[in-house]
Amino acid sequence: MLWSGISVNRGVVIGEVFATKKNLKIQGYKLLLVCLLDDWRRPTQRVVVAVDTLDAGVLDEVVVAFGSGARNAIKPLSRDVLVDCAIVQVIEGSNLTGET
């Protein structure tokens, strides 16, 4: 999870943020509210605003990248994009067995 040093996390889209003005580098992208999930896919108290690079929708389960991974999702190898969180995958299904 982000707060333990990993730069990607699973989450569920719970809403959209509407902005009348955006930085030019992210114009055309939606800003979505994502509730991060714990290791067992339970909602946490942590909600982030993520740039939507994949046209995700409310209640979609997604993978969000943070930091340079988020910037690279918008514009690869760019340091001038002012983004710290971006949706990089929409999860269609998963299997959680508890086995290691």
The pLDDT tens digits of the residues spanning 68-97 come to 888 888 877 677 777 889 999 999 876 666
With bands split at pLDDT 50, 70 and 90, how would you rate the model's confidence at 55? very high
Q: Which CATH number fits domain 2-90: 2.40.30.210, 2.60.120.1440, 2.40.50.220, 3.60.15.10?
A: 2.40.50.220
Give the number of other Cβ atoms within 10 Å of residue 16's Cβ: 14
Residues 6+ apart with CB under 8 A from 66: 2, 7, 8, 9, 84, 85
Three-state DSSP class for 3? Answer: helix
- C-beta separation of 58 from 15 below 8 A: yes
Question: 59 or 76: whose pLDDT is higher?
Answer: 59
Q: Report which of 55, 9, 66, 7 is spatially closest to residue 32, judged by C-alpha positions.
A: 55
What is the C-alpha to C-alpha distance for residues 82 and 26, in angstroms, rounded to an integer? 8
Please tell me the distance from the alpha carbon of residue 62 to that of residue 68, in angstroms, as a whole number: 18
> Average model confidence (pLDDT) for the chain?
85
